[in-house]
Protein backbone atom coordinates (compact mmCIF):
# COMPACT_ATOMS: atom_id res chain seq x y z
CA UNK A 1 0.00 0.00 0.00
CA UNK A 2 2.81 2.39 0.92
CA UNK A 3 6.28 1.96 -0.60
CA UNK A 4 8.98 4.39 0.45
CA UNK A 5 12.33 4.28 -1.31
CA UNK A 6 15.48 6.15 -0.26
CA UNK A 7 13.44 9.04 1.12
CA UNK A 8 15.27 12.13 2.36
CA UNK A 9 14.00 15.46 3.58
CA UNK A 10 16.04 18.45 4.62
CA UNK A 11 14.32 21.64 5.81
CA UNK A 12 15.50 25.00 4.52
CA UNK A 13 18.28 26.55 6.61
CA UNK A 14 19.08 23.19 8.21
CA UNK A 15 22.29 21.26 7.85
CA UNK A 16 20.96 17.86 9.00
CA UNK A 17 18.34 15.81 7.20
CA UNK A 18 15.08 15.48 9.16
CA UNK A 19 14.56 12.04 7.56
CA UNK A 20 17.47 10.07 6.18
CA UNK A 21 17.36 7.34 3.58
CA UNK A 22 14.04 5.83 4.65
CA UNK A 23 13.08 2.55 3.00
CA UNK A 24 9.75 1.17 4.09
CA UNK A 25 6.97 -1.09 2.81
CA UNK A 26 3.60 -1.06 4.50
CA UNK A 27 1.00 -3.60 3.41
CA UNK A 28 -2.69 -2.96 2.92
CA UNK A 29 -4.58 -3.08 6.21
CA UNK A 30 -1.42 -3.00 8.35
CA UNK A 31 -1.45 -1.09 11.64
CA UNK A 32 1.93 0.56 12.11
CA UNK A 33 2.99 2.73 15.03
CA UNK A 34 5.99 5.05 14.75
CA UNK A 35 7.85 5.88 17.94
CA UNK A 36 10.90 8.02 18.65
CA UNK A 37 11.87 10.96 20.81
CA UNK A 38 11.01 14.54 19.95
CA UNK A 39 12.74 15.68 16.75
CA UNK A 40 13.43 12.13 15.51
CA UNK A 41 11.49 12.80 12.28
CA UNK A 42 8.09 11.14 12.85
CA UNK A 43 5.98 14.07 11.66
CA UNK A 44 8.30 14.80 8.75
CA UNK A 45 8.01 11.21 7.56
CA UNK A 46 4.19 11.27 7.82
CA UNK A 47 4.01 14.59 5.95
CA UNK A 48 6.28 13.28 3.18
CA UNK A 49 3.99 10.26 2.75
CA UNK A 50 1.02 12.40 1.68
CA UNK A 51 3.25 15.14 0.24
CA UNK A 52 2.21 17.83 2.69
CA UNK A 53 5.91 18.58 2.41
CA UNK A 54 8.06 17.86 -0.63
CA UNK A 55 10.71 15.21 -0.16
CA UNK A 56 14.24 16.30 -1.07
CA UNK A 57 14.94 12.98 -2.78
CA UNK A 58 13.54 9.47 -2.99
CA UNK A 59 10.01 8.33 -3.69
CA UNK A 60 6.72 7.46 -2.03
CA UNK A 61 4.27 5.16 -3.80
CA UNK A 62 0.69 4.91 -2.61
CA UNK A 63 -1.03 1.89 -4.11
CA UNK A 64 1.69 1.87 -6.80
CA UNK A 65 1.15 5.54 -7.70
CA UNK A 66 4.11 7.82 -7.19
CA UNK A 67 2.83 10.76 -5.12
CA UNK A 68 6.25 12.31 -4.56
CA UNK A 69 7.04 12.86 -8.21
CA UNK A 70 3.89 13.88 -10.09
CA UNK A 71 1.85 16.98 -10.89
CA UNK A 72 0.05 18.69 -8.00
CA UNK A 73 -3.33 17.75 -9.54
CA UNK A 74 -2.40 14.08 -9.56
CA UNK A 75 -0.98 14.38 -6.03
CA UNK A 76 -4.30 15.84 -4.86
CA UNK A 77 -6.10 12.88 -6.38
CA UNK A 78 -3.84 10.40 -4.62
CA UNK A 79 -4.12 12.40 -1.40
CA UNK A 80 -7.93 12.10 -1.50
CA UNK A 81 -7.30 8.46 -0.62
CA UNK A 82 -5.24 9.36 2.47
CA UNK A 83 -6.83 10.73 5.63
CA UNK A 84 -4.71 12.72 8.06
CA UNK A 85 -5.35 13.21 11.77
CA UNK A 86 -3.39 15.70 13.87
CA UNK A 87 -2.65 16.22 17.53
CA UNK A 88 -4.46 19.58 17.59
CA UNK A 89 -7.55 18.22 15.78
CA UNK A 90 -7.40 20.77 12.90
CA UNK A 91 -11.14 21.19 12.70
CA UNK A 92 -13.13 24.34 11.96
CA UNK A 93 -14.19 25.60 15.39
CA UNK A 94 -16.90 27.94 14.10
CA UNK A 95 -18.58 25.25 12.02
CA UNK A 96 -20.93 22.49 13.11
CA UNK A 97 -19.89 18.87 13.45
CA UNK A 98 -21.91 18.13 10.32
CA UNK A 99 -20.15 20.78 8.20
CA UNK A 100 -16.73 19.72 9.37
CA UNK A 101 -17.43 16.14 8.40
CA UNK A 102 -19.07 17.11 5.12
CA UNK A 103 -15.82 18.92 4.27
CA UNK A 104 -14.19 15.51 4.13
CA UNK A 105 -16.20 14.99 0.92
CA UNK A 106 -14.51 17.98 -0.75
CA UNK A 107 -12.02 15.90 -2.68
CA UNK A 108 -14.87 14.06 -4.40
CA UNK A 109 -16.57 17.18 -5.72
CA UNK A 110 -15.88 19.92 -8.19
CA UNK A 111 -14.40 22.89 -6.44
CA UNK A 112 -17.00 25.35 -7.75
CA UNK A 113 -19.81 23.10 -6.62
CA UNK A 114 -18.54 22.96 -3.08
CA UNK A 115 -17.98 26.73 -2.92
CA UNK A 116 -21.72 27.09 -3.43
CA UNK A 117 -22.46 24.38 -0.91
CA UNK A 118 -23.71 21.92 -3.49
CA UNK A 119 -22.94 18.66 -1.83
CA UNK A 120 -25.00 15.73 -3.04
CA UNK A 121 -27.51 13.79 -0.98
CA UNK A 122 -24.99 10.95 -0.97
CA UNK A 123 -22.37 13.26 0.56
CA UNK A 124 -24.85 14.25 3.27
CA UNK A 125 -25.72 10.62 4.00
CA UNK A 126 -22.06 9.58 4.18
CA UNK A 127 -21.28 12.48 6.56
CA UNK A 128 -24.18 11.51 8.84
CA UNK A 129 -23.16 7.86 8.85
CA UNK A 130 -19.56 8.77 9.77
CA UNK A 131 -20.75 11.03 12.60
CA UNK A 132 -22.84 8.16 13.98
CA UNK A 133 -19.89 5.77 13.66
CA UNK A 134 -17.78 7.93 15.98
CA UNK A 135 -20.68 8.27 18.45
CA UNK A 136 -21.50 11.94 17.88
CA UNK A 137 -24.98 11.60 16.42
CA UNK A 138 -26.60 13.80 19.05
CA UNK A 139 -24.00 16.55 18.44
CA UNK A 140 -24.52 16.63 14.66
CA UNK A 141 -25.48 20.33 14.49
CA UNK A 142 -23.45 21.54 17.48
CA UNK A 143 -20.62 24.01 16.85
CA UNK A 144 -17.37 22.17 17.41
CA UNK A 145 -16.01 24.93 19.70
CA UNK A 146 -18.51 23.66 22.30
CA UNK A 147 -17.09 20.14 22.29
CA UNK A 148 -14.48 18.51 24.54
CA UNK A 149 -11.03 17.51 23.24
CA UNK A 150 -12.04 13.87 22.87
CA UNK A 151 -15.18 14.85 20.97
CA UNK A 152 -13.16 17.17 18.70
CA UNK A 153 -10.83 14.32 17.81
CA UNK A 154 -13.91 12.19 17.05
CA UNK A 155 -15.03 14.92 14.62
CA UNK A 156 -11.59 14.79 12.97
CA UNK A 157 -11.86 10.99 12.68
CA UNK A 158 -15.37 11.26 11.20
CA UNK A 159 -14.14 13.83 8.68
CA UNK A 160 -11.32 11.55 7.61
CA UNK A 161 -13.75 8.61 7.39
CA UNK A 162 -16.07 10.56 5.12
CA UNK A 163 -13.15 10.73 2.68
CA UNK A 164 -13.47 6.91 2.49
CA UNK A 165 -9.68 6.60 2.53
CA UNK A 166 -7.50 3.52 2.07
CA UNK A 167 -4.83 4.97 4.35
CA UNK A 168 -5.02 7.00 7.55
CA UNK A 169 -1.95 8.84 8.84
CA UNK A 170 -2.35 9.94 12.45
CA UNK A 171 0.33 12.23 13.89
CA UNK A 172 0.17 11.94 17.68
CA UNK A 173 -3.63 11.77 17.61
CA UNK A 174 -3.98 11.42 21.38
CA UNK A 175 -1.23 13.66 22.74
CA UNK A 176 -3.69 16.39 23.76
CA UNK A 177 -5.99 14.02 25.60
CA UNK A 178 -6.09 12.55 29.11
CA UNK A 179 -5.22 8.84 29.52
CA UNK A 180 -8.84 7.62 29.52
CA UNK A 181 -9.65 9.53 26.35
CA UNK A 182 -6.37 8.43 24.77
CA UNK A 183 -7.51 4.85 25.13
CA UNK A 184 -11.02 5.60 23.87
CA UNK A 185 -9.78 7.39 20.76
CA UNK A 186 -7.12 4.79 19.92
CA UNK A 187 -9.68 1.98 20.34
CA UNK A 188 -12.05 3.82 18.01
CA UNK A 189 -9.40 4.50 15.39
CA UNK A 190 -8.04 0.96 15.47
CA UNK A 191 -11.49 -0.68 15.36
CA UNK A 192 -12.62 1.48 12.44
CA UNK A 193 -9.47 0.65 10.46
CA UNK A 194 -9.80 -3.09 11.14
CA UNK A 195 -13.50 -3.01 10.20
CA UNK A 196 -12.88 -1.17 6.91
CA UNK A 197 -9.48 -2.63 6.04
CA UNK A 198 -7.83 0.79 6.20
CA UNK A 199 -4.03 0.96 6.49
CA UNK A 200 -3.18 2.91 9.65
CA UNK A 201 0.12 4.65 10.41
CA UNK A 202 0.18 6.43 13.77
CA UNK A 203 2.93 8.27 15.58
CA UNK A 204 2.75 7.92 19.36
CA UNK A 205 4.92 9.01 22.24
CA UNK A 206 4.22 6.37 24.85
CA UNK A 207 5.87 3.04 24.45
CA UNK A 208 3.33 0.89 26.29
CA UNK A 209 0.62 2.47 24.27
CA UNK A 210 2.48 1.86 21.00
CA UNK A 211 2.95 -1.80 21.95
CA UNK A 212 -0.72 -2.17 22.79
CA UNK A 213 -2.05 -0.61 19.59
CA UNK A 214 0.48 -1.34 16.87
CA UNK A 215 0.90 -4.69 15.16
CA UNK A 216 4.23 -3.36 13.86
CA UNK A 217 6.49 -0.83 15.52
CA UNK A 218 8.85 1.49 13.71
CA UNK A 219 11.44 3.17 15.89
CA UNK A 220 13.08 6.37 14.64
CA UNK A 221 16.17 8.13 15.85
CA UNK A 222 17.82 11.17 14.26
CA UNK A 223 15.75 10.78 11.09
CA UNK A 224 16.58 7.09 10.58
CA UNK A 225 14.64 3.90 11.14
CA UNK A 226 16.47 1.98 13.86
CA UNK A 227 13.77 -0.60 14.65
CA UNK A 228 11.11 -2.26 12.51
CA UNK A 229 9.44 -5.35 13.92
CA UNK A 230 6.52 -6.74 15.91
CA UNK A 231 5.93 -5.12 19.31
CA UNK A 232 6.72 -8.38 21.15
CA UNK A 233 10.24 -8.33 19.67
CA UNK A 234 11.10 -4.91 21.09
CA UNK A 235 13.91 -5.44 23.64
CA UNK A 236 15.43 -3.05 26.18
CA UNK A 237 18.43 -2.67 23.88
CA UNK A 238 16.10 -1.62 21.04
CA UNK A 239 14.47 0.91 23.34
CA UNK A 240 17.88 2.40 24.15
CA UNK A 241 18.68 2.43 20.40
CA UNK A 242 15.49 4.41 19.80
CA UNK A 243 15.45 6.80 22.74
CA UNK A 244 19.17 6.93 23.54
CA UNK A 245 20.83 6.24 26.87
CA UNK A 246 18.78 8.80 28.68
CA UNK A 247 17.66 8.00 32.22
CA UNK A 248 14.28 9.33 31.20
CA UNK A 249 13.36 6.84 28.52
CA UNK A 250 11.31 4.81 30.96
CA UNK A 251 8.97 7.81 31.09
CA UNK A 252 7.84 6.99 27.59
CA UNK A 253 6.65 3.65 28.87
CA UNK A 254 5.20 4.82 32.14
CA UNK A 255 3.18 7.93 31.51
CA UNK A 256 -0.51 7.25 31.56
CA UNK A 257 -0.30 3.45 31.68
N1 LIG B 1 9.27 23.49 9.58
C2 LIG B 1 10.50 23.13 9.94
N3 LIG B 1 11.58 23.87 9.59
C4 LIG B 1 12.83 23.50 9.93
N5 LIG B 1 13.11 22.38 10.64
C6 LIG B 1 12.09 21.61 11.01
C7 LIG B 1 10.72 21.93 10.69
N8 LIG B 1 9.91 20.96 11.20
C9 LIG B 1 10.74 20.08 11.80
N10 LIG B 1 12.03 20.45 11.70
C11 LIG B 1 13.21 19.72 12.21
O12 LIG B 1 13.21 18.42 11.66
C13 LIG B 1 13.57 17.45 12.64
C14 LIG B 1 12.47 16.42 12.75
O15 LIG B 1 11.31 17.04 13.25
P16 LIG B 1 9.90 16.32 13.33
O17 LIG B 1 8.89 17.37 13.65
O18 LIG B 1 9.69 15.50 12.14
O19 LIG B 1 10.12 15.36 14.60
P20 LIG B 1 9.07 14.54 15.47
O21 LIG B 1 9.67 13.19 15.67
O22 LIG B 1 7.74 14.63 14.85
O23 LIG B 1 9.09 15.33 16.88
P24 LIG B 1 7.90 15.50 17.96
O25 LIG B 1 7.83 14.19 18.71
O26 LIG B 1 8.38 16.61 18.85
O27 LIG B 1 6.66 15.83 17.25
C28 LIG B 1 13.85 18.23 13.92
O29 LIG B 1 15.23 18.45 14.01
C30 LIG B 1 13.12 19.53 13.72
O31 LIG B 1 13.76 20.58 14.40
MG1 LIG C 1 5.89 15.36 15.50
Q: Report the percentage of the chain scoring pLDDT > 70.
A: 91
Average model confidence (pLDDT) across the chain: 91
Least confident of 128-142, 219-233, 243-257: 243-257
**CB of 257 shorter than 6 A to ligand 1:** no
Q: Pick from 43, 169, 173 the residue to mutate for probing ligand 1's pocket: most ligand atoms within 8 Å of its CB.
A: 43
pLDDT > 80? residue 141: yes
Atom index in ligand 1 nearest the CA of residue 172 equals 27
What pLDDT does 110 receive? 61
Ligand 1 site, residue 41, Cβ cutoff 6 A: yes
**pLDDT value, residue 115:** 64
Q: Which residues contact 60 (CB under 8 A, 6 or more apart)?
A: 2, 3, 4, 5, 7, 48, 49, 51, 66, 67, 68
Of the candidate CATH numbers 3.40.50.300, 3.30.70.580, 1.10.287.3510, 3.40.50.2020, the domain formed by 26-53+65-81+169-257 belongs to 3.40.50.300
Instruction: Write out the H or E segment, with its range, that includes residue 219.
Output: strand 216-221
Identify which of 7, 15, 18, 243 to mutate to test ligand 1's pocket (most ligand atoms within 8 A of the CB): 18
For residue range 34-72, what is the model confidence (pLDDT) as tens digits?
Answer: 999 999 999 999 999 999 999 999 999 999 999 998 999
Q: Is residue 2 over pLDDT 50?
A: yes
**CA–CA distances in Å: residue 27 to residues 32, 165, 198:** 10, 15, 10
- From-to residues of CATH 3.40.50.300 in the chain: 26-53+65-81+169-257
Residue-wise pLDDT for 183-227, tens only, equals: 999 999 999 999 999 999 999 988 888 999 999 999 999 999 999
Amino acid sequence: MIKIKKLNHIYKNRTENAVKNINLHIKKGENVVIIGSSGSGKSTLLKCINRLIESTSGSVLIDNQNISNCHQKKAEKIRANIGMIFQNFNILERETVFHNVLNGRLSYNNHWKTIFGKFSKEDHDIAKECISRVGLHEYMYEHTMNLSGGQKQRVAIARVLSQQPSVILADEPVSNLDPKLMKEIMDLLKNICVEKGITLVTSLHFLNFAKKYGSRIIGMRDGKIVFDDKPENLTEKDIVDIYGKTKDWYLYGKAGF
